[in-house]
Amino acid sequence: MRTFLLTLGLLCFGFGICHAQEKTKPTKKPNILWIVAENIDHDLGCYGAKHVKTPNLDRLASAGVRFTRVFATAPVCAPSRSAFMTGMYQTTTDTHHMRSHRNDDFRLPPGVRPLTHWLQDAGYSTFNIGMILRWLVGTVKLDLNFVNEGKIFHSDNWADLKKKQPFFAMISTPEVEYDIYDRKTFQKPRVEWVGEKEHPQIARPDEVTPPPYFPDHRVAREEWARYLNSVSGLDVRVGKILDALKTDGLEDDTIVIFFADNGRLDVRGIHWCYDSGLRVPMIIRWPRNFSAPANGRAGSVNEQIVSLLDLTATTMDLAGLKRPPLMQSRIFMGPNADPPRQYAFSARDRIDETVNRIRSVRDERYRYNRNFMPEQSLAALNRYREKCFLVMPLARQLHSEGKLKGPALSLVAPRLPDEELFDTKNDPFEITNLAASKTPEHRDTLRRLRTALEVWITETGDRGQFAEPPGVVAPFEREMHDWFGTPGWYKKL
């Protein structure tokens, strides 16, 4: 009996050691891949878009979750990226002006860090990928409004992913700039389309219907077709990425998150606080070797309000990290998900040489904009827009000839309304401003969203109220002139 008890005790002791070892054994962590498109709205086949061919992204959506109400915190890349790479609104951290703080000693506020630094502390290798074998799949773009925080990523080498797991990798795709940086005047549009050998030529100018705020003109239809074909080209590169992930044996351990950094590359999209400039696609696919959360079911559609800001905390949670105190980002997937947002907030400030301040809030149906500088309308000078979006000089010419009609007149209006309210359900292109509507529902909605925006501005310490010194803005004026020239109409003012 004594021998039996001794043996039993040793077995129990051994089991306890093994059990303790099991408890302390590190949990395998998923790899996380961000595929970041630039400048697109819901212009994919899986969102119902026409005249595009996006089979790779459509398959990703059928194997993952497709989100329908995701909004950037800014309608342009650098402020938006500065927000989702820190989990803090760009208006809180003083990174809200386009490409600011590149040549000064600016540092992020205490306690605010790049996402990759948190992940590196947790054992993740971090990558910003440009090439996969001979394929150019990314630009290795950072475009952050902070440059003094140390190295953001460990490497840009795809070949290192397999041996350096768990990893967090970001790939910023180059496609949707199409040929805007190589433009002649709109009177002599390009005959060939740059990238014609790469982009599937699905959209044809004589078949497409541009948004109603485009002028009814051949040039506008050509512009819209170029944009749609660049989206189809984006899908080709995404296919290369997903194929490489599978070929290298990484697919079953990698959460794939596809999204765009801001909205559509068109004359009333990028730079402007409408759905076309702020709404972005998002698809998340769970890997086989990790259990998908309840809201991660393959083929499902998620209609909750999500801010791109929420990518930060959600990515940290997927990596097993706790959200830092005071981080403004929320978790929107998994067992630790926060309550869904009621509102998504966004902001536009100086972009290049064009000073402006717009604040915006979106709920499930309505968008409210407050234009703090209404004189800075869509017609205000921005040399990038004048050179790269042929629709802009086209609208000016048609207007001078008395031929510009309908919603396209907004492109040349000298002033924006102080307030804008749009019913995106009945007016998806946000053409009809309801801010002066007498309908009780519209009046109540206006008051509610106005109040929500005012509270957000106060609670988040919005720094847009503090103007940049003229000496900061002047170099952008010179740079944009050197890059794009100054249009004749402006020289005559």
- pLDDT for the residue numbered 248: 98
How confident is the prediction for the chain on average, in pLDDT? 91
Give the tens place of pLDDT for each residue, 129-165.
999 998 889 999 999 999 999 999 999 999 999 999 9
Phi, psi dihedrals of residue 434, rounded to the nearest 5°: -100, 10
Give the tens place of pLDDT for each residue, 386-400.
998 999 999 999 999
- Asked whether the predicted pLDDT for residue 16 surpasses 70, the reply is no
Instruction: Using alpha carbons, select from 373, 361, 381, 319 the residue that is nearest to residue 452.
Output: 361
- Looking at domain 30-487, its CATH architecture is 3-Layer(aba) Sandwich (3.40)
Burial of 103 (0-12, 13-18, 19+ CB in 10 A): exposed
- Asked whether the predicted pLDDT for residue 9 surpasses 70, the reply is no
Give the tens place of pLDDT for each residue, 69-128.
999 999 999 999 999 999 999 999 999 999 999 999 999 999 999 999 999 999 999 999
- Asked whether the predicted pLDDT for residue 177 surpasses 80, the reply is no
- Asked whether the predicted pLDDT for residue 197 surpasses 90, the reply is no
What is the per-residue DSSP string for 222-284? HHHHHHHHHHHHHHHHHHHHHHHHHHTT-GGGEEEEEEESSS-SSTTSTTSSSHHHHEEEEEE
Which residues are bridge partners to 127 per DSSP? Answer: 155, 169
- pLDDT for the residue numbered 378: 98
42 Cβ partners below 8 Å, 6+ apart?
A: 48, 49, 68, 279, 281
pLDDT band at 26, cuts 50/70/90? low
Cis omega (within 30 of 0) on the bond before 417? no
- pLDDT for the residue numbered 199: 76
- pLDDT for the residue numbered 183: 56
Q: What percent of the chain is predicted at pLDDT more than 90?
A: 87
Residue bearing the bigger pLDDT, 189 or 477: 477
Q: Where are the domains of the chain?
A: 30-487
- pLDDT for the residue numbered 174: 84
Mean pLDDT of 433-438: 98
Mean pLDDT of 18-37: 72
* HSE value, Cβ hemisphere, 13 Å, CA-based, for 450: 13
Query: End-to-end alpha-carbon separation of the chain, Å?
Result: 106
Give the tens place of pLDDT for each residue, 221-272.
999 999 999 999 999 999 999 999 999 999 999 999 999 999 999 999 999 9
- pLDDT for the residue numbered 179: 65
- pLDDT for the residue numbered 198: 63
- pLDDT for the residue numbered 149: 97
- pLDDT for the residue numbered 181: 62
- pLDDT for the residue numbered 176: 75
Residue bearing the bigger pLDDT, 463 or 11: 463
Give the tens place of pLDDT for each residue, 344-387.
999 999 999 999 999 999 999 999 999 999 999 999 999 999 99
Other C-beta atoms lying within 10 Å of the C-beta of residue 8: 10
Give the tens place of pLDDT for each residue, 295-328.
999 999 999 999 999 999 999 999 999 999 999 9
Distance separating alpha carbons of residues 89 and 65, to the nearest angstrom: 25
- pLDDT for the residue numbered 111: 95
Give the tens place of pLDDT for each residue, 409-418.
999 999 999 9
Distance separating alpha carbons of residues 221 and 264, to the nearest angstrom: 16
- pLDDT for the residue numbered 4: 34
Question: 218-247 vs 391-400: helix axis angle to the nearest 10?
Answer: 170
Instruction: Using alpha carbons, select from 319, 316, 308 the residue that is nearest to residue 263.
Output: 308
- pLDDT for the residue numbered 326: 92
